[in-house]
Structure 1
Amino acid sequence: MPGILYLIPNTLGPAAPAPADPLAHVIPIEVQSITAQLGYFIAENAKTTRAFLKLIAAQHPLAKPLQEIHISELNVNTPAAQLPALLAPIKAGQDGGLISEAGVPAVADPGANLVRLAHHEGIRVKPLVGPSSLLLAVMASGLSGQSFAFNGYLPTDATQRTKRIKTLEDRSRLERQTQLFIETPYRNAALLEALVTACKPNTLLCVATDLSLPTETIATQAISKWKQDLAAGRAPDFHKKPTVFLLLSE
């Protein structure tokens, strides 16, 4: 009988120092307990996953010594042909965990294809509760939470990016739908500049940075106000920080 593939949430950044449990404010105790019981993980980066497991171990003894826990890597460069081998221990009866580099697995994360294969192979998939930067951003933005769409990364080419922004703005207006997207953190400023240049003055834009972290900032205002702030040198403090952009055209 196959084991269970647990989808294990991770923090959205370095855990804040705390006297007791540094994970408690973002990773539920039960999730930590389940994670500690597993001896096999699939993760984007083995090194950072071991660091995460060390934090787990501070509150919950691990099923095996950390050096004996097997971690297979799965990232955007992993060929589809290697996915069956990643699931082989679980298919053979061992429970395993899929861990994202940040946030929840399989959402804006390379684990989705593995989860699909698990369903095809008759493996039970068990999602666990944890932080999603996308949902936290929707919650905090004040924009439409009834209809929203995540669009991943926008094109890096300036002309194509502007065209894409205008398409998303039109879709937002026609469908009353919040449009979400992200950018490589060191290009946040360039994306914000492109948005204030391409969008209509009354379009609402939320910039949500370092969600759930001590340095978290969230601001929603019209494009016209963003343009004024940038002209006055009041740019968000988001250089090299994970940021979610949300747009709603009215």
Structure 2
Amino acid sequence: MTTILVHIEGDEGQASRLAAAFDLARACQGHLVCLSVLPYAAYALGDPAMGAFPVTTLIDAVEARRGEERAAVEARLRREGLSWEWQSGDGDSADRLVEHARLADVVVMSAGPYARAAALKMGITGDVAVRAPAPVLAVPEAATRFDVAGPALVCWDGSQEAARTLRQAIPLLKLASGVTLLTVSEKDSPFTGRVAAAFLSRHGVAADVVERDAGAASVEQVIRSVAAERQASWLVQGAYGHSRVREMLFGGVTRGLLSDAPLPILMGH
């Protein structure tokens, strides 16, 4: 994954997004594309405390904040010594990220309700995950790094979303110290966990298949339990849902993991 698209917004999750993107770029000898998107609403509303100011003053204030944010991030990028570029856009953040993902290998965004507009933030990440041609790496706000070389846990149910995400994850799975492929209450399907593990083996990835019955627990609870048991550093999870709905019409497992992510999650649709 050598072209890494990073969402730049200056919000609470940005520090963890950048840290994860830096780790990913180093592990893959990658290039960072930093995309800063300013919603049109920012020009119209500006700072509420400046409501009586002329429109031109509001625009100048918004652009000044944008410039300060860019200067701060670029200073950090120069210190990291990585290959990077800066892209700017206006309008809908999800739309611009999906567009730029056309020539990206992965999109680094934030997981969970971590901001004042929690539902909107989570909706943007989910929206991009189900629309973008590249997978999304959803990073928890509390994360300080992305241990690419650590153990990985792949959540597998034989679906198209799980299969596509599995294929997209192969370059990173090759770097993991171990791979666990988890099935929970596996359905009657020709695409079993063992078939998926055999597919990975032909790509040079050895996966340990773990089969669990949910019993009284939810699938999400089983995933969290096995992630802790296997000391996983990151997860691979298909993004099940519909695009263009900010409330994210995801299945309960995907929504639950994303809203309170225990680890960085590579998600694809």
Please report the TM-score for the alignment, with normalisation by the length of structure 1: 0.28
